[in-house]
Amino acid sequence: MKKIVTIGGGTGSFTLLSGLKKYNVDLTAIVSMADDGGSTGRLRDELGVLPPGDVRQCLVALSDSSEKLRGLMNYRFESGDLRGHNFGNLLLSALEKINGNFTEGIKEAARILNIKGMVVPVSEQEMNLAIKLKNSKVIVGEQYLDHNKDVRKYGVDKVFLKPKIKANSRVLEKIKKADVIILGPGDHYGSIIPNLLVRGVAKAICNSKALVVYNCNLTNKKGQTENFDVDKYTQEMNEYLGRDRIDFVVFPNGRPSKKLISKYEKKEGKNSIVKFVKNNLIERSYRIVLADVAKKGAVKKNKHDLITDNRSFIRHDSKKLAKTMMLLSERKEYRRMIKEIV
């Protein structure tokens, strides 16, 4: 059975894991602990717990329990003091308090939800993302990537952790034994890169014998990844890893509809849809896989989600993305099955 490790957080990990759980593989989802916005941020501030939101999404994605139980985990309260809070976030925070630590709380939730695989927080220490802007100003807090005028005005220079923290030992063990390591999809600076900043994670990936696949973002964000193309995303990902470690980059072989592009560009500006330019580089250390992995049409949003406006409505298709990952993991069959490899 192939050992597959996914690294990310949020909606991107939910999409990927929802598809991968249908295959006969040993799955481990490594999840960022940098989230401090919305319901998750309120619980961190008020209860002193680790952020439950991204972990909850991964647990629900991997769950084989009833539709009602999974729906309960994703339920958001519409009014009162709990307005905007997610039931699953509250449950995970309560389990952390009852069990004495977050990892044990996740294990208990995994049993309740009957998940396939394992969900592991990248670190058990408090994780704070620092954002250095191009005007040298430093802002601390992952939520400010999407809630700060200076980010959109000046742009992000780099991100780092303040203070530095060490990786969960289980994370390093899983990476070492992995056959395939999948980075993304997910928010570039908010969900994927924070994992690579945790001490030991990037080194473990670089030293691993696993196939490393990066699912490139479909859209850009003003002030963060403005004008990024596939190569820029991948090169920056390799920089945070410490060397050219990515083997394959997966990207859609088509573009969203003109209607969706127009709608997204009104929000994030011109050229906010990521492009792949075949002759952009003379030589690449990685290979580009162009495949049918994008979701057709826009994604419906939850009006009770306090950060719904920050979530992209142009996303990957869960089933198609998982199928592409499995074909790549087989190596021998991917050339025949995937549309084009550059």
CATH ID of 3-124+169-341, from 1.10.10.10, 3.40.50.10680, 2.70.98.90, 2.60.120.560? 3.40.50.10680
pLDDT over threshold 50, residue 309: no
- Which of 154, 121, 159 is CA-nearest to residue 143? 159
Q: What percent of the chain has pLDDT over 90?
A: 83
CB 117 within 8 A of CB 21: yes
Query: What are the tens digits of pLDDT across the range 1-37?
Result: 999 999 999 999 999 999 999 999 999 999 999 999 9
Determine the length of the chain.
342
Cα 342 from Cα 340, distance rounded (Å): 6
- Which of 40, 70, 195 is CA-nearest to residue 120? 195
pTM over the 0.95 mark: no
Cα 209 from Cα 146, distance rounded (Å): 36
What are the extents of the domains in the chain? 3-124+169-341
Rounded to a whole number of angstroms, the distance between the first and last alpha carbons of the chain is 29
Residue 162 has which token pair? 């303040």
Q: Is residue 88 exposed (0-12), middle (13-18) or buried (19+ Cβ within 10 Å)?
A: buried
Classified as helix, coil or strand, 70 is: helix
- Model pLDDT, residue 313: 74
Which of 71-85, 118-132, 201-215, 301-315 is the least confident region? 301-315
- Model pLDDT, residue 270: 85
Burial 246-285 (b: 16+ CB within 10 A, else e): bbbbbbbeeebeeebeeebeeebeeebbbebeeeeeeebe
- Model pLDDT, residue 297: 64
- Model pLDDT, residue 312: 59
